[in-house]
Amino acid sequence: MQKNSMWQLFPDGRALNRRATLSFIFAAMMLCSYSFAESSADTYKAKCSACHGKRGDADTMIGKNLKLRPLHSPEVQNQSDEQIFNVISRGKDRMPAFDKKLSKEQIHELVRYVRTLTK
C-alpha cells in the first residue's frame, strides 16, 4: 500500500510520524551546536597539551625535550595578551603556527585559557 509516501521510510509501510521526525531533527541540531561550542579547554587538550602538558606544566616527553617553560611561570604570565596571541598564531622555534588551523576568536580564547593555568 502506497500511502503518504513522503513519510514512508520502512519497507513494511511504517512511516515515521511527525513527532519522531521532529525529535530526530532536534537531536541532530543539539549535536551540531555541541560540536560548534567546543571549548578552549578542548582545543588546548587537542592542539597544545602534547607539548605543553595537560595543565601547561610542560611535563610531557616533548615538553621536557624542548625544555619548555611551564605556562603558569612568571616568564610566560608576564607576557602581554598580544605577545601570547602572536606566539600561538605565528609559532615560535619548534612550535608550529596555528593561524591557519584556528580562528582568531579561538586563539583569543586560548590566550584567556593560558591565563587560567596559574597555580
**CB of 51 within 8 A of CB of 66?**
yes
- Asked if 110 is part of the footprint of ligand HEC (rule: CB under 6 A), the reply reads yes
Please give the Cα distance from 39 to 58 (Å, whole number). 21
Q: Which is nearer to ligand HEC, 64 or 92 (CB)?
A: 92
Interface residue with ligand HEC, options 15, 47, 57, 89 (CB under 6 A): 47
Q: Which is nearest to 111 in space by CA: 57, 48, 36, 34?
A: 48
Q: Can you tell me which residue has the cell 532536534?
A: 26
58 binds ligand HEC (CB under 6 A): no
- List of residues contacting ligand HEC (CB under 6 A): 47-48, 50-52, 62, 66, 68-69, 71, 75-76, 84, 87-88, 92-95, 98, 110, 114
